Amino acid sequence: MASFKQRHTTIRDPRLADLLFGSTSIAWVWLIIRGWLGYVWLTSALRKVGSADWVQTGIAVKGFWERAVAIPQQGRPPITFDWYRGFIQYLLDTGSYAWFGKLIAYGELLVGVALVLGAFTGIAAFFAAFMNWNFLMAGTVSVSPVMFPLTILVILAWKVAGYYGLDYYLLPMLGTPWQKGQALDKVADSAHARLAE
């Protein structure tokens, strides 16, 4: 009887997946998508960062949340899921909009800058998708239905989406949680050398 190790074979990704998510030859496509996403986040963030209603009082967030939790007498409420409505109502009741406005404005700014520069692209895209998901859950449509799937694709293409950007330097230098980068190798080698003395 063959052991599991002997029977196990590696399942390869389809060629299209390899091309889209692992080949630098298609990195220019991710540059365009990433650049557009970053531009949209930046323009949205700059409007918010320049507004006292977002970054000082949080009144803009409060108004958005109040509209989102409202249940009209006729028609459908903006928030479909009761648990999410309860979460937003809790944030309203605790006055969290005062600090949440800053979090949204500066979070959008950081995500936009990171996507435009191609720095930590996968992480930036994750937070972009999370913000998009929350906007969609609160009943806001706007460009989120287009941005969300594109952002998910950028997350999947994290290895090459920042190839034409700072990730070209950052990923080899810093590495990933499962693979040390060149900078961490040097630090580890230096630490081992000091311990050996």
CB 138 within 8 A of CB 84: yes
Structural tokens at position 45: 């963030």
On the question of pLDDT at 170 being above 80, the answer is: yes
On the question of pLDDT at 38 being above 90, the answer is: yes
pLDDT of residue 8: 66
Across 30-61, b (16+ Cβ under 10 Å) vs e yields bbebbbebbebbbebbeebeeeeebbeebebb
Q: In sequence order, what are the beta bridge partners of 179? A: 176
146, 107, 113: which is closest to 130 by C-alpha?
107
pLDDT of residue 159: 92
131 vs 1, 9, 128, 135, 145, CA distance in Å?
51, 38, 5, 6, 12
CA 104 from centroid of its chain's CA atoms: 13
On the question of pLDDT at 4 being above 60, the answer is: no
Structural tokens at position 180: 């040390």
How far is it, in rounded angstroms, from Cα 45 to Cα 41?
6
pLDDT of residue 197: 65
Per-residue pLDDT, averaged over 5-28, amounts to 82
pLDDT of residue 192: 61
Sign, Cα dihedral of 23, 24, 28, 34: positive
- Secondary structure (3-state) at 170: helix
pLDDT tens sequence across 124-139: 999 999 999 999 999 8
